[in-house]
A and B are shown apart, each in its own frame.
Chain A
Amino acid sequence: MKINYCDALVIGGGLAGLRAAVAAQTKGLSTVVLSLVPVKRSHSAAAQGGMQASLGNSKMSQGDNEDLHFADTVKGSDWGCDQEVARMFVHTAPKAIRELAGWGVPWSRVREGSREAVINAKKTTITEDADVHGLITSRDFGGTKKWRTCYTADATGHTMLFGVANEALKIEVDIRDRKEALSLIHDGGRCYGAIVRDLITGELEAYVSKGTCISTGGYGRLFKQTTNAVICEGTGQAIALETGIATLGNMEAVQFHPTPIVPSGILLTEGCRGDGGILRDVDGHRFMPDYEPEKKELASRDVVSRRMIEHIRNGKGVPSPYGDHIWLDISILGREHIEKNLRDVQEICQIFNGIDPADEGKKGWAPVLPMQHYSMGGIRTKKTGESQTLDGLFSCGESACWDMHGFNRLGGNSVSETVVAGMIVGNYFADYCLENDVEIKTSTVKKFLNEQDEYLDEILEYNGEEDIFRIKNTMQNLMDNKVGIFRDGEKLTAAVIELEELLKKTKQITVKSKEKIGNPELEEAYRVPRMLKLALCVAKGARERTESRGAHYREDFLKRDDANWLNRTITTWPNASDTQPTIAYEEIDIMTMEMPPAFRGYGAKGMIIENDLSEKRQAEVDEIREKLETEGKDRHAIQDALLNFDLPMNYRQNNERVGDK
């Protein structure tokens, strides 16, 4: 048995994992990153449009600050988020972007003088002041009060990922790719690393560490139609679930993005609409203002996605061999803008659909349809990023339910979370590794390794009629059809039953090749059961949650129910032999909120079942605010009085802005 010892083990080499690893390595810990693929190929690279941080440099973002970013994030989450975590996040985001600038990320910069932009389908002139020339600029995104999304054209995730990966190389983080974690090693309620399979040699090895951080991204591939990369199968969450101790949070909170292209499902960034692109129906009519007069195409993603499907249901979709779709029109932005700021979007349209979106008129319209895009749910953590129930296990980024997104994530808050959580959780994680020792017997480690070794042998010995690829495809179609954008009790009940059946069937397959090296079917055979367990968490959580909140939309329970459902879904899998998860709930306390539940400002009105405490807390908040304002206190002092939060390092310092007096 090969045991690799290190201080800090990070599973997942995307932006969050790499940034957490940099934090650990910088504190003098021997840090190992394990990744399914070369880290610069992680799904973080696919983030196109940008990263939210309230720098407030450019004209359209003047006056922006943490308070506005916080309010947008809480509204976006439909009050499902942890407001203390949201505060930690918005306060650190400007620091993250400035750190990345120093690491060479070539953020697009403000240019002094006048330029034309398209706002609400009208050409508008924006004039930038000379004193901000050369500072980081930002564009508009859905659900935000100010233009807050910083970017590098439409390849933001790519440049960020290369920046952070290069920094990790520079400080000699030990990065090992084509390694897959199969299970977590734990003893006495504490995690000590992972059993890992080398995807080149097939060899199993143990990685034993003082602390373990899972940053493996989302679980989009539970669905057929998804913008996610093929590696986003949720196996990080699944191995945490399989400990029987770690918990998952809000797994039913799944986001559907309005504008992936049909049929490939490749994302066309929100920057398309942020920069002024509009949605059109079969008649070429711009329909979003009819539904959302205020935010139009730039309401939050859950709202825009539902409005699109609603419009299609009203008979206004564009028929195609792949079903009805909607048109995305960015041609109105002009060729010059597209070829500079939306170049990848243009290439995707050209290569995969033979459309040049810069062509004027209908010729340049791209077919789009809402598809799975983001997993708000994940490994439930404390504010430090550590599992609430399994010591020494941390998680950050999309794999975690930390929980700054609640039931809907705002565009641009995801890549932002990766690096911000990498900084915050990464430092708490590093501190844990500094303060704790490895206290596990090698015989216990061996037991975990043998379990996985025997499991692989068992899979190769299965001798049944089922086919693992077919099971996977059935699951993905079922998730699209029954656990998708519009949900109801009947479909969800059927989904849970069918998923449970599929899980049982994964033992009735035959893997044709008996090789343990380079055998893709064997890999599917051990991954799909884990995916099915997660799918069951999503479907069962959705079935039980009899309300609509954010991206979770129940046609049989249309209202957001703050009286009964202002809580987080907590899912566990206590026994390996179970065929369904166990569900419990964690209350969200209104009386500690800085911003008590209210109307989001977009979406249908009058669809809230109020909680009496919301009004009570709002009165308290108003009173505190008024009192401190009378005393002449600044916004930082007022905020501090409403909700106190801590940050590691010197991240609690105030962020300097051009507009500061």
Chain B
Amino acid sequence: MSIEKGRDITVSVLKFNPKSKASKPHFVDYKLEETPGMTLFIALTYIRENLDPDLSFDFVCRAGICGSCGMVVNGKPALGCRTLIANYPDGKIQLMPMPAFELIKDLSINTGKWMDDMSRRVESWVHTNEEVDISKIEEKVDPDVADEVFELDRCIECGICVSSCGTKLMRPDFVGAVGLNRVARFEVDPHDNRTADDFYELVGDDDGIFGCMSLLACEDHCPKHLPLQNKIAYLRRKLVALR
């Protein structure tokens, strides 16, 4: 069976290497033929292999699981690997690196460093003094509670919530929906002994839970459809009651 010739599409990419004195931000248009089921992963790989070997971008799993490939697609942040070219009827796609993160080059940004800092800031680990004897039967957890923790643990730290956040524009140190979701996750985890007061110490300020203006762009764009706004509202009510 042969494959019909696909549409001609144009992918326009903002190129810039901040480490080069000669480099200035500029758009480069790449023209290529669409193939069935083509995603931005497939398109950008084709461009690098055939049109511009100097184009930098990040993909790892190419299946929407690892969170590496957040980029601004026609003005909206999205995972490149999950973006189907077929969903753009005019065949024109403009790509820019996500804002709010350090630019490495072209579409490549340093989300890893930001997320590490966030994880340390909200102490993104189980706090407990109990020694677990791993030869013994594990502690019981209600199945509903385990499911609830899992729901919030599904975050892949792609950074899309941060780059779509209005507060982050005004407050450079804002911990982002990703950070607040992480706090909410450990708050429901029965293994974690931290109290509301402990969480208040971590995020009880305008760079944390009280900074959020509830603009909802985080939830609108979250590729894992996490209940960010509900969880932020819940956390805010809980922490504001403490003071």
Rounded to whole angstroms, the CA-CA distance of A155 and B156 in the bound complex is 11
Instruction: List residues of chain A with CB within 8 A of the CB of B142.
Output: 109, 134
B150 pairs with A106, CB closer than 8 A: yes
Query: Which of A102, A111, A656 contacts B137 (CB under 8 A)?
Result: A656
B195 at the interface (CB under 8 A from A): no
Distance from A649 Cβ to chain B, minimum over Cβ atoms (Å): 10
B132 pairs with A517, CB closer than 8 A: no
Q: Which of B49, B66, B154, B189 has the most CB of A within 10 A?
A: B66
A521 pairs with B147, CB closer than 8 A: no
Distance from B2 Cβ to chain A, minimum over Cβ atoms (Å): 8
B55 at the interface (CB under 8 A from A): yes
Binds B, one of A169-177, A388-396, A568-576: A169-177
Which residues of A from 311 to 328 have beta carbons under 8 Å from B? 319-321
A108 pairs with B143, CB closer than 8 A: yes
A352 at the interface (CB under 8 A from B): yes
Binds B, one of A79-87, A158-166, A625-633, A636-644: A158-166
A98 pairs with B154, CB closer than 8 A: no
Rounded to whole angstroms, the CA-CA distance of A167 and B156 in the bound complex is 17
Rounded to whole angstroms, the CA-CA distance of A39 and B111 in the bound complex is 11
Contact A158 to B156, CB < 8 A, known contacts A99-B134, A521-B54, A650-B135 = yes
Distance from B192 Cβ to chain A, minimum over Cβ atoms (Å): 7
Distance from A171 Cβ to chain B, minimum over Cβ atoms (Å): 9
Contact A351 to B140, CB < 8 A, known contacts A263-B37, A518-B19 = no
Convert A507-532 into 0s and 1s, putting 1 for each residue whose CB lies closer than 8 angstroms to a CB of B: 00001110101111100100000000
A264 at the interface (CB under 8 A from B): yes
A46 pairs with B19, CB closer than 8 A: no
Q: Which of B3, B56, B63, B125 has the most CB of A within 10 A?
A: B63
- Of chain A, the residue at the smallest CB distance from B63 is A266
Rounded to whole angstroms, the CA-CA distance of A189 and B149 in the bound complex is 48
Convert B29-66 into 0s and 1s, putting 1 for each residue whose CB lies closer than 8 angstroms to a CB of A: 00000001101000000001110011110111111111
Query: Which of A167, A231, A264, A517 contacts B60 (CB under 8 A)?
Result: A231
Contact A166 to B154, CB < 8 A, known contacts A108-B143, A109-B141, A229-B60 = no
Instruction: List residues of chain B with CB within 8 A of the CB of A134.
Output: 140-143
Rounded to whole angstroms, the CA-CA distance of A572 and B65 in the bound complex is 35
Instruction: List residues of chain A with CB within 8 A of the CB of B186.
Output: 104
B140 pairs with A108, CB closer than 8 A: no
Interface residues in A, total, Cβ within 8 A: 82
Which residues of B from 61 to 117 have beta carbons under 8 Å from A? 61-68, 82, 84, 104-106, 108, 110-113, 115-116
Contact A159 to B153, CB < 8 A, known contacts A170-B125, A352-B37, A513-B54 = yes
Interface residues of B, dominant DSSP: loop
A201 at the interface (CB under 8 A from B): yes
A579 at the interface (CB under 8 A from B): no
Rounded to whole angstroms, the CA-CA distance of A650 and B135 in the bound complex is 9
A43 pairs with B61, CB closer than 8 A: yes
Rounded to whole angstroms, the CA-CA distance of A511 and B53 in the bound complex is 9
Instruction: List residues of chain A with CB within 8 A of the CB of B49.
Output: 469-470, 473
A658 pairs with B17, CB closer than 8 A: no
Q: Which 5 A-B pairs have the closest CB atoms?
A: A38-B112, A134-B140, A521-B53, A106-B149, A102-B132
The 19 listed contacts between A and B (C-beta, < 8 Å) are: A37-B60, A37-B68, A37-B112, A38-B68, A40-B67, A41-B60, A45-B61, A45-B65, A46-B65, A46-B66, A98-B138, A101-B141, A101-B191, A104-B149, A109-B142, A152-B150, A158-B154, A162-B153, A351-B84
Contact surface of B with A, Cβ cutoff 8 Å: 1-3, 17, 19-20, 36-37, 39, 48-50, 53-56, 58-68, 82, 84, 104-106, 108, 110-113, 115-116, 119-120, 123-126, 128, 130, 132, 134-143, 146-147, 149-150, 153-154, 156-157, 186, 189, 191-192
Additional A-B contacts beyond A263-B37, A321-B1, A653-B135 (8; CB < 8 A): A38-B113, A95-B134, A103-B125, A104-B192, A177-B113, A351-B82, A352-B84, A515-B54
Contact surface of A with B, Cβ cutoff 8 Å: 37-43, 45-46, 55, 94-99, 101-104, 106-111, 133-137, 152-153, 155, 158-159, 162, 166-167, 169-170, 175, 177-178, 200-201, 229-231, 263-264, 266-267, 319-321, 344, 347-348, 351-353, 469-470, 473, 511-513, 515, 517-521, 524, 650, 653-658
